[in-house]
Structures are given as structure tokens and as C-alpha cells.
Structure 1
Amino acid sequence: MKKLLILLLAWTCAGPALARPLLVAAASDLGYCIDELVAAYRKTAPEVAPKVSLGASGNFFAQIRNGAPFEVFLSADMDYPRQLGKLGVADGATLTPYAIGHIALWSLDPQVDPARGLAALVADARVKRVAIANPITAPYGRAAKAALLRAGLWDQVQPKLVVGENIAQTAQFVQTGNAQLGIVSFATLHASKLKALGRHALVPTDGLPPIEQGAIVTGAGAGNPHAAGFVRFLASREARAILVRNGFGVPAGAAE
């Protein structure tokens, strides 16, 4: 009996350590709500321990393509996960749109008014630096470039650009004063530490492709049922409520 009690005590103490890990690569724009999403999922699956890495979607795409062991990829677009499915390193059947992003002009400079729109990037002489995410690797940077091209301002703004590796670093450039204006994700401005800072205005995206964000189970996650479970969870009412509360839109269709 004593040995049994010792074994039971050891098993109880080791319980949390035995939680099955789930390696998630998530776009930086999710940085301010991913913990809430993970906590909500764990209520339905306490036996899993998601471990989230945040970064630029393009960088994660390259890493997963080259064998990184991430089991779920939450991209800031649909194209990167779709490509992984075509390459055979992710399960294309699990590709799911989970959020719609928006871009916004944001400034902490009281003399710079984002409500003037993109034209202020060139018309306002006080704007010396403009922060955007890298258009090559970050979908929000790609969206910012597309908006500037549509407005006919890309060539004029380029000399002022300060380029962040991802949307989080782009916001940091504005926070630290290294840029008077930034084109950031609207969701970033919903973070508790940023909500009351500066002023912002949504960038009109009429005629531009929506920033549709996609999740997919990678090849590494094929044997982990929680990989598919987490992707399915993102379509739930609870997950969608979290995303909307944090500045995202959600895809059309009824939530589960």
C-alpha cells in the first residue's frame, strides 16, 4: 500500500508535466489575444499545453517548409498556409480562415493627425519616418504597400520608410518615436497597453484584397489530435468573440 501511495503521489505531482505539448506558430498581430485564445481552448482540453511562438508569417512559412516542428500555423494571410499545403508539408484539407484583419494609421505625435489619411505621410512635413511591416514577409506590410500603391504614394513614401520584421516591431517603432506614423494592424491598437496611446484612423481598403488570416495543421501536427482541435476551436463562438473583442473581423458563416 505504501508503494502504491508513493506511485500515486508521484503521478499526481508529475501530472502537469505530462500535458501534451502543442507547438503553435502565430502571426505577430495575434500577440495581444493569443494567450486568451489558448486559455479558452485549454478549458476544453486541459491535457494539452500549447507553446506559442510569435513572428512574421513569411518567416514561419520558410521555417515550416524547411522542417521546423510547429504543429499549427496561424498565418496573417491565407497564401502562406495554402502554399505549405501544396508543398505537402501541411494538410491542405485543414486550411481554415479564422480572422479578417484591418490596417490603421497610428501616431503618438500630438501634432500629427492620422485622420488626415495616407496623404499626411507626404503632405505633412513633420512626418520624417513612416513605419510599416516588411511587405515581403509580413502580410500586414503587404497590405500597407498595396494601400500606398492604390493611393499613388508608394514612391514618395519609400524614402521615409522604417521597416519592421513583423507588425509588433512596426508598432514598437512608433512607440519609441523612431517613426511619427505607422501603418499597423488595428488589432495591435486593442492591446491593453496601447489602447489609450496616441490617435489612429482605419485605412480604407475598398478595392483591395481583404486581409484574410488562415490556420492550418502542419505535417508535424498530423499525429497530434489537438492540432486539428485547436484549428477547429478558432471557428467557435468563444474564439470568434475573443477575436472581435481584439479588433479582428471574422469570416462569414455561422460559428460552431
Structure 2
Amino acid sequence: MIGENLSGPRSWRVRAGIALGLILAVTGCGSAASETAGSTTDPDAAGSTVNVAAAADLKYALDELIEEFAEDHPGVEVAVTYGSSGNFAAQIRNGAPFDVYLSADIDLAQDLAADGFGDPDSVFDYAVGRLVVWAPEDSPADVEAGIEGLVSEDVRTVAIANPEHAPYGEAAESAMETAGVAEELQTKLVLGENIAQAAEFVLSGNADVGIVALSLALSPPMTGAGSYAEVPLDSFPTLRQGGMLLDDATAEDEDFVDFIGSEQGQATLSDYGFYPPAGED
């Protein structure tokens, strides 16, 4: 929770005062934001809806992918809710009515499948995520100095996703530890509920710099508004992103999952900086 006093190696004290209500109004995804995309050419057709819980780093890539899917699937709507992968896993365990789960950490999907919330054979990789240090043009942070440079006295606040339930936050935490600056950055950290909110903290000026997803750094709001430098891939565990079909999946749900893995779907994800799934070229 923003503003909560935290302690321990995987939790952090947050000192920056955040106008959370304003940020939520701007982003619409402090915990989760729901949107619907698709098309229905026959107003009398019953149609169907694919309800998707998606990691926040997918926001712009998936919005575009859904538009592409709708072109060939009239009558099928895709309703997507963006948020923290860990929070979604907890919601699904408590009966949240999703059809497809797209996590930033495939382990969360595998755990759900193993516990009976879907067919283990339906679990799939869809991308590998990447971390960047991103700062707006007027920031005192030097992104080219990488995570090590964030210890500068000029940098007062650093936004990351909450590592307790957001895979990108956990990856950022690991990268800081690899860089040997985790303790020095502890009092500078501002925790977003998910990676999209962490990015918005930086974009809105409520943090000097952020360790965020490359997919968001390449999104329309952030492109041209600042600069970024990639965090070395060997400094944090691979962000192996994966999903699953939940119980009672329909043919339309399967079609949507297949589209994500198709050449067109993968090309769209690549445009937003995602690597192909592990083991693929």
C-alpha cells in the first residue's frame, strides 16, 4: 500500500507523499482497470465475451492486439482487466469470473493450474518481459548511469511496482540487489500497486525516475516524454510471462489465446519490446 511503513529485505519504507486519488483518476489502473474491445457486425447475434485478467505491463500491447483479433472475430468481445498478476491470482482463487489469465510470471499460472483452477495443459508462454530505467526529460536522474546511478543525491524518489505481488517489482528488487544498491535506495522507493501505476508515478512527476517495463516505456504516453536505458537481463530473473485458460473455457477463449501465440499476435508484442517466449527465436 502506498505510504505504508514497510520493512524487511523484500519490502520498503515509502516516504514520498503521493496524491493517489489523482493518479488513479489519470491511469484508471491503480489496482485494476476494465475495458472492452471487439466488434459485432450482426446486432441480433448473441455474441460472446472473453473475460481476461492481464498483467499491467500488457496494457498498450494487448489493447492493440485485441483490435486486431476483433477484425477476424466479429461477434466476440474481449473484456480485459489490467492489474497486478499476484492480485489476480488471489482473486481467481476466490472465484473471480475470468476466462483467461495473462500473468507477468508464468509460475503464478502454473500454480493455479496445479491447484485445479484450469487445465495444466492450457498453461502457455506468451512473452519474456524486459526492465528499463525510465525518467522524464526534466528529471535529475541519469538513466544511462543505470540502477547504480539512482543513488545520486539529486534523485529523491524511485518508483517500482510492489514486489510483494507484482513480478516486475520483484525483478526490479533483484536488479537493485545485483547492482549492490538495494539498501541505499530503500528510503527512496515509491511502490505502485502494479507496474503501470509505477510508470504513471514517474510520468506524472510524483517520482524522479522509475524501474519499469520496456513495454510501457514504448507506449504512446511515455514515448517522447523521457528517455530510458535497459536493465541488463542477467541482473534479474527472467520475466517469463505466461497465461492459462481457466475452468469452463469456451471455443472463443481458446481462439483468443491462439491469436496471442500467432505470428500476428507475437509481432504486436514484439513492437512493444517483448522478447518471444523462452526457447523461441
TM-score, length-scaled by structure 2: 0.81
Is residue 236 from structure 1 mapped to residue 266 from structure 2 by the alignment? no
Gaps of 5+ in 2: 1-40
Alpha carbons of 1:130 and 1:111: their partners in 2 closer, same or farther (altered >3 Å)? closer
- The answer as to whether partners of 1:94 and 1:228 remain within 8 angstroms in 2 is no
More helix by share: 1
- Contact 1:81–1:90 (8 Å) recurs in 2: no
Alignment match, 1:35: 63
How far has the Cα of 1:158 moved from its partner?
A: 1.1
The AA in structure 2 aligned to 1:118 is I
1:1-256 equivalences in 2 (<5 Å): 12-15=42-45, 18-108=46-136, 109-122=138-151, 124-206=152-234, 208-219=236-247, 222-252=248-278
Residue by residue, what CA displacement relative to the aligned partner does 1:2-26 show, whole Å, maximum 9, x if unpaired? Answer: xxxxxxxxx95433xx210110001
CA deviation profile, 1:84-130 (whole Å, cap 9, x unmatched): 001101221111110110000011134321000111111x1111111
How has the CA–CA distance of structure 1 residues 125 and 226 changed in structure 2, closer, same or farther, with 3 Å as cutoff? same
SS of corresponding position for 1:46: coil
Secondary structure class of the residue paired with 1:247: coil
1:3 aligns with none
| Aligned mates of 1:162, 1:246 — CA distance in 2 | 25
Larger radius of gyration: 1
Q: Percent identity?
A: 41
Task: Determine the C-alpha separation between the residues in 1 that align with 2:221 and 2:43.
Answer: 36
Size of the aligned set, in residue pairs, is 240
Where 2:147 maps in the other structure, the secondary structure is coil
Question: Structure 1 residues 40 and 254, CA, compared in 2 at 3 Å: closer, same or farther?
Answer: farther
- Alignment partner of 2:229: what SS? strand
Q: How far 1:226 sits from its partner (Å)? A: 1.6
User: In structure 2, the residue corresponding to 1:21 is in which secondary structure?
Assistant: strand
The root-mean-square deviation of aligned C-alpha atoms, in Å, is 1.7
User: 1:153-207: CA deviations, max 9, x gaps?
Assistant: 1111111110000011001110121111100000001111211011110011215
- Does the CA contact (< 8 Å) of 1:113 and 1:199 recur in 2? no
Query: Secondary structure, in 3 states, of the residue corresponding to 1:209?
Result: coil
Instruction: Give the gaps of 5 or more residues in structure 1.
Output: 1-10
Give the structure-1-normalised TM-score.
0.89
Paired amino acid for 1:46: P
